[in-house]
Amino acid sequence: MSDLLLRRASESRPGADGLDDFEVIGEDGTIVGHVFKSIAAPIRTPWAWTMAYGYQDGLTPTHGYALTGEAAMAAFKRSWRRE
């Protein structure tokens, strides 16, 4: 499997902090998830990650929180590669 890529989101979604809102792009160019700085995250874990609907089957966890954007992407990749 090739690496997943991050791309700044073209439109910010509710709950995301504008410039820190990224789409996770799969090997076929589709959006398979999101990594973003959340405005409603738990204390000391402001970054959230989630898999897009339709890509969650059989994977766990499908979302989570992290201290940094890099840590959130690493958690996404660990879960993604469990498929």
31 lies in which domain range?
5-80
**What total number of domains does the chain contain?**
1
> What does DSSP assign to residue 25?
E
pLDDT at position 17 is 72
pLDDT at position 2 is 54
**Is 60 in contact with 79 (CB distance < 8 Å)?**
yes
Average pLDDT per block of 10 residues along the chain, 83 residues long: 80 78 92 92 93 84 94 93 69
Structure tokens at 8: 């700044």
DSSP SS3 for 38: strand
pLDDT at position 1 is 39
Vertex 50: Cα angle to 53 and 52 (nearest 5): 20
Of 58, 67, 1, 83, residue with least CA distance to 35 = 67
